[in-house]
Amino acid sequence: MSIRTDRTPIHWNYFLAIEEDIADLTRWIEFHESNFKCFSIQLARVLMVASAEADVIAKKLADNIKPESGARNIRDYQKIIMDAYPKFDTHTVEIPRYGLSFTPWSNWGQPDTSPLWWMANNKVKHDRSNCFDQASLENVLNSVAGLFVLIAIYYQSQTSSVTPAPSLFEPSSFALVDGDWLVFRRG
Q: Residue 119: its pLDDT value, please?
A: 98
Asked, for residue 7, whether it belongs to a domain, the answer is no
Asked, for residue 9, whether it belongs to a domain, the answer is no
Confidence class of residue 181 from pLDDT cuts 50, 70 and 90? confident
- Please tell me the pTM assigned to this model: 0.94
Asked, for residue 3, whether it belongs to a domain, the answer is no
Question: Cα angle at 169 between 184 and 9, to 5 degrees?
Answer: 50
Spatial contact of 165 and 177, defined as CB atoms under 8 Å apart: yes
Residues whose CB is less than 8 angstroms from the CB of residue 181 and which lie 6 or more positions away in sequence, other chains included: 161, 162, 163, 164, 165
**Does residue 106 register a pLDDT over 90?**
yes
**Does residue 1 register a pLDDT over 80?**
no
Q: Which residue has the higher pLDDT, 145 or 3?
A: 145
In angstroms, the CA 14 to CA 25 distance is 17
Confidence class of residue 114 from pLDDT cuts 50, 70 and 90? very high
Asked, for residue 145, whether it belongs to a domain, the answer is yes
Asked, for residue 36, whether it belongs to a domain, the answer is yes
CB count within 10 Å of CB 130 equals 10
Domain span at residue 135?
A: 16-184
Spatial contact of 166 and 19, defined as CB atoms under 8 Å apart: yes
Asked, for residue 108, whether it belongs to a domain, the answer is yes
**Does residue 173 register a pLDDT over 60?**
yes
